Amino acid sequence: MQAVTDSSILEQCQEALRKRLLALLPQLYKKDFIFQGKQNNATDRRLFNNVPVHYAPDIGLWYAYNELDAYHWNPFGLGDPALAARNLSIGLEINIPYKYNRRVNGIFVEDANGDIYLAHRGKLSGIKRAFFFDHYTGQKTAVHDCERQFVVALVTPLYDPALARNIKSFANSVAGIKQLYKMA
């Protein structure tokens, strides 16, 4: 597999992901988020108010979207967002950089047939990649970019009809790994 590194193709893939998720997750809520992460090597903590959150009750997955300074913010969570008291608890982020960047965990990869997949590099907040991959039981694959080879977790083919269900399955795996890490 090859990493998608061209900025224009990254944008096309991100837009396809966003549009597909909006179609697959039809219920709309407005929720608040507290975002805490890294932007330009500095800790960034922001409150986002009234963010559109898309949800499908038959799948049990929600999705939101925002454009941050260096990447497309793609947070996901499990369960009905209407039941959240205040701020939603983010279970997983698969953020996609505007310009190829190994520090951002979301990545699109292309196979030999030209099919595009959404993948994750395995670094979760506070959890090292090695721990993630030691405990991740889903599909992993080697990926090449311009300079390196590395392993990613394949989340879903971008155009799979089961895209949202595949992301939910990955979110469940991430939740399990986070629980294991807390107990370690």
For the segment 165-182, the average pLDDT, to the nearest whole number, is 96
Instruction: Output the pTM of the full model.
Output: 0.92
Domain of residue 74: give its range. Answer: 2-183
pLDDT confidence of residue 59: 97
Taking each helix axis as running N to C, give the angle between helix 163-183 and helix 7-24, from 0 to 180 degrees, rounded to the nearest 10: 100
What is the average pLDDT score of the chain?
92
pLDDT digits (tens, 9 = 90+) for 17-37: 999 999 999 999 998 877 665
pLDDT confidence of residue 125: 83
Integer Cα distance of 178 and 184 in angstroms: 10
pLDDT digits (tens, 9 = 90+) for 138-165: 999 999 998 899 999 999 999 999 999 9
pLDDT confidence of residue 149: 96
| Pairwise pLDDT comparison (67 vs 12), residue with the higher score | 12
Q: Is the pLDDT reported for residue 91 higher than 80?
A: yes
pLDDT digits (tens, 9 = 90+) for 4-18: 999 999 999 999 999
Other Cβ atoms within 10 Å of 144 Cβ, number: 12
Query: Phi then psi for 31, rounded to 5 degrees?
Result: -135, 165
Q: How many distinct structural domains can be found in the chain?
A: 1
Closest CA to 110 of 75, 145, 137: 145
